[in-house]
Amino acid sequence: MTSQLADQPGAPRSAPERGEGPGAGRALRAEGSPTRAVRVGGIEFGGGFVVIAGPCAVESAEQIELTASAVRAAGAHLLRGGAFKPRTSPYAFQGMGEPGLRLLCEAGRRHGLPVIAEVMEPAQIPLMLERVDVLQVGARNMQNFSLLRALGRMRRPVLLKRGLCATVEEWLLAAEYLLDGGNEQVILCERGIRTFAPEVRNTLDLSAVASAKLRSHLPVVVDPSHATGHRDLVIPMSLAAAACGADGLMLEVHPRPSQALCDGAQALTPVAFEELMRKLRPVLAAVGRELGAAALPTAAAQSG
């Protein structure tokens, strides 16, 4: 009966049996228990270290194909690429929409890469479910509770970005909206917080990664591209993330960053991405981890 009530947004609810607050939450790690892995195809978030890579926005068939091919060759596990883009201004490029989503998924399939894309509203969920392996909730939507409730009713992995000025507790409680609906496949993503510091787009808060890992059993990945906004800082921050216990990275890669329609300054070239992957391996080994196994090459990828 509780679950029925849960489906009615705003309905008065009694506190769950485990009590109120994050201390009692479903995201909470029991003392000594490990991170619970979230599986996407053959890949495990919370197992081997997972690398998500791709452009900020899907711009063309050629761009997404070049990117997918390059990041697959360098060892990425998932392909990212925005189709519906949340933009501060209504007059800025809003993404290609559904055609972009189709291009993303085709490129992913050709290269054996599961795909992740941002979902901005409940109405987009059915379309996303048909095509996308992981649904991303953007930082600006971290407390879009109706979106969270809707995704909590799904049984598809959700990557939940931390809000621009969300505390770790608020982030875990946002995850709780998903878990409370029965969707246990939640991946957290730290992407930098808004501070006074003017030299970076956001301030990457790696202590929040360590903190979230201590308190919760959810896997945590790091997006150093949005967090810094500067290509030069992406590699050092990626290595730092790996060293402090993150379960993966989410990176922007573009075949020609200077021509990117959005956020080009933070995108890695394919060459820099390959360099990062090479540097990542020994750091992971140093902390007793390793890169997750590559997704199995598909027939399409082999012939592509």
By CB under 8 A, what part of segment 200-239 binds a second copy? 200, 203-211, 214, 227-228, 232-233, 236-237, 239
Residue 197 vs 299, nearer CB to a second copy: 197
- Helix, strand, coil % over all residues of the chain, rounded to 5: 40, 15, 45
Single residue of 35, 63, 144, 183 touching a second copy by CB under 8 A: 144
Question: Long-range CB contacts (< 8 A, 24+ apart) of 192-199?
Answer: 192/223, 192/226, 192/227, 192/228, 193/162, 193/164, 193/165, 193/166, 194/164, 194/165
Nearer Cβ to a second copy, position 45 or 177?
177
Region 108-127 residues binding a second copy, contact defined as CB under 8 A: 120-123
Residues 6+ apart with CB under 8 A from 130: none
- Cβ neighbors of 286 (< 8 A, separation 6 or more) are 243
Q: Is residue 53 involved in binding a second copy (CB under 8 A)?
A: no
For a second copy, give the closer residue by CB, 170 or 274: 170
Judged by DSSP in three states, 56 sits in coil
Shortest Cβ 298–a second copy spacing (Å)? 28
CB of 34 to a second copy, least distance (A): 16
Part of the chain binding a second copy (CB under 8 A), chosen from 15-23, 44-52, 265-273, 296-304: 15-23
R_g (Cα) of the chain, nearest Å: 18
What is the pairing mode between strands 248-252 and 186-190? unpaired
Q: Exposed, middle or buried, 12 (CB in 10 Å: 0-12/13-18/19+)?
A: exposed
Q: Please tell me the count of residues contacting a second copy according to CB under 8 A.
A: 89
User: Is there binding between residue 8 and a second copy (CB under 8 A)?
Assistant: yes
Asked if 129 interacts with a second copy (CB under 8 A), we say no
Among 73, 129, 287, 293, binds a second copy (CB under 8 A): 287
Q: Which of residues 255-274 bind a second copy (CB under 8 A)?
A: none
Out of 37, 143, 153, 274, which residue is the one contacting a second copy (CB under 8 A)? 143
Closest CA to 186 of 211, 204, 161, 165: 161
Give the footprint of a second copy on residues 74-103 (CB under 8 A): 83-98
Closer by beta carbon to a second copy, 73 or else 197: 197
Nearest to 132 by CA among 155, 109, 120, 115: 115
| Residue 24 vs 299, nearer CB to a second copy | 24
